[in-house]
A = this chain, B = another copy of it.
């Protein structure tokens, strides 16, 4: 906890090194830290391992980094909405590792909560390229899923106070709370920063104890607006 947590996007992201493992919030566009991702693109950071639920859609979210060849590896739950990412994968230019969605979230949470991992029976029937470590507990078989942490987490919150307490909204929470617990450096973009005490302490979704840097962003229509192709036609 530094005496002021408020940074510009450039200041906040400057220390993100090539080759870093970066946890990125968001499920589709809601909760995706688009402004911080554009900063990574602008500053040229490369050889990244990104962890995000999905591969975003072309031109949006983490796809701007994937398209620019900055991503060596993507750890996700599905990439179906991004044909560019799938094509790069088939060309061998993007490594993709997929997990069941809730198990990916649990691996990240375990990292954040200082656990070594979790035991799960999901996907026990699968042969994957990842050799699974199996254990038997109370007569049942489980797969060990090791904890997953990032060097950095890029988070989008609806609102923050100056202490770094965060509030998420609607379906824009998704992976953000888990990821904000699980990185050495936690950078949060938000459209609104209010004074300490302005958020009811019972309404805080993630305490500022986890948050290192806050970036106030203007939410552009292109990155944060309604995507017409997912809307009903009038």
Contact = CB atoms under 8 A, between A and B. Distances in A.
Interface of A: 106, 110, 113-121, 133, 135, 137-138, 140, 142, 144, 146-147, 167-170, 201-203
18 contacts: A110-B119, A114-B120, A116-B118, A116-B119, A116-B137, A116-B138, A116-B140, A116-B142, A117-B142, A119-B119, A119-B147, A133-B135, A135-B135, A168-B202, A169-B202, A170-B202, A202-B203, A203-B203
Nearest to A142: B116
Nearest to A136: B133
A116 B120 contact: yes
Majority SS of interface residues in chain A? mixed
Contact of A117 (B119, B147, B203): B119
A116 B142 CA distance: 7
Assembly stoichiometry (copies): 2
B135 A146 contact: no
A79 B176 CA distance: 36
